[in-house]
């Protein structure tokens, strides 16, 4: 193992390098306010607790979804399947807001929130706390409803690339 002592100036680079070693499931977070709906690719999604069933997501404050989330009451975490790389690319800046929803099978909740009908899973959340920290805001979601697609084969992001997970030897 290559253990190094780093000075503060090097922490940013080393932190990025360390984060490349996280294998994270790729999701598209969606939400709607009174005027518009939107969605963006996110891997900063973490289980928070089972009682109540809850999760947290971290959104950059500069994103459009962040604006919408401040007014939205609910949001959805759509877990992507390994064959949905193109959707992830579109929802991370590859396509404009309206154009994003022209790809994939999108449905809408009664409140107008979009969800991906053929996602690996849909976690429908009521927005709980919103905690700003640095450039991002942590949003807590209380899971109200879940949709599941049978075969478990999520899209994973690791070392700056899309991957698939397989059982360890
Ligand atoms: C694999 C991947 C994961 C991402 N995860 C996050 C995330 O967790 N939070 C975040 O704020 N941005 C994340 N991004 C960046 C946003 O998807 C990207 O900035 C997007 O363009 C923002 O949406 P907007 O174009 O509607 O503002 C991620 C991008 C990729 C490709």
The residue among 38, 96, 46, 99 whose CA lies nearest residue 70 is: 38
% of the chain at pLDDT higher than 70:
96
* CATH code at position 85: 2.30.110.10
Cα 3 to chain centroid, rounded: 32
Would residue 41 count as lying in a domain?
Answer: yes
Residue found under tokens 């976690």: 123
Nearest CA to ligand 1 atom 5: 42
Identify the residue whose tokens are 């992001």: 157
Residue 7 confidence (pLDDT):
78
Does residue 35 fall inside a structural domain?
yes
Ligand 1 pocket (Cβ < 6 Å) reads: 26, 40-44, 58-60, 63-65, 92-93, 157
User: What average pLDDT score do residues 52-77 get?
Assistant: 97
User: In this predicted model, what pLDDT tens digit does every residue of 107-121 receive, in sequence order?
Assistant: 999 999 999 999 999
Substitution site in 40, 82, 114 for ligand 1 pocket (most atoms within 8 Å of beta carbon): 40
Which residue from 42, 64, 67 has its CB within 8 A of the most atoms of ligand 1, so it is best to mutate?
Answer: 42
Q: Report the nearest-CA residue for atom 28 of ligand 1.
A: 42
Can you give the residue range of the structural domain that contains 74? 8-164
Please check the confidence at residue 5 and state whether its pLDDT lies above 60.
no
Q: Is residue 86 part of a domain?
A: yes
Number of domains in the chain: 1
Whether 1 is covered by a domain: the verdict is no
Dist. CA 27 → ligand 1 center (Å): 10
Give the nearest ligand 1 atom to 39 CA: 26
pTM, to two decimals: 0.95
Has residue 25 been placed in a domain?
A: yes
Bridge-based pairing state of the strands 74-79 and 121-133: antiparallel
Confidence of residue 6 (pLDDT cuts 50, 70, 90): low
**Of 24-28, 93-97, 130-134, which gets the smallest average pLDDT?**
93-97
pLDDT > 60? residue 168: yes
Stronger pLDDT, 70 or 78, i.e. the higher one:
78
Q: In what order do the strands lie in the sheet with 24-25?
A: 24-25, 155-158, 161-164
Q: What is the pLDDT of residue 4?
A: 60
């Amino acid at each position: 193992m290559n253990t190094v002592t780093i000075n503060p100036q090097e922490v940013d680079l080393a932190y990025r390098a360390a984060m490349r070693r996280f294998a994270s499931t790729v999701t598209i977070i969606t939400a709607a306010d009174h005027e518009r709906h939107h969605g963006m690719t996110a891997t900063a999604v973490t289980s928070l607790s089972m009682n109540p069933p809850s999760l947290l997501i971290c959104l950059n404050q500069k994103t459009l979804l962040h604006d919408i989330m401040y007014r939205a009451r609910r949001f959805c975490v759509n877990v992507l399947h390994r064959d949905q790389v193109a959707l992830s690319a579109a929802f991370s800046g590859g396509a404009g807001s309206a154009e994003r929803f022209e790809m994939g099978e999108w449905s809408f909740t009664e409140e107008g929130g979009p969800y991906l009908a053929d996602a690996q899973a849909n976690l429908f959340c009521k927005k709980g706390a919103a905690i700003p920290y640095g450039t991002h805001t942590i949003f807590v979601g209380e899971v109200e409803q879940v949709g599941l697609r049978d075969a478990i084969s999520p899209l994973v992001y690791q070392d700056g690339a899309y991957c698939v997970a397989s059982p360890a030897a």
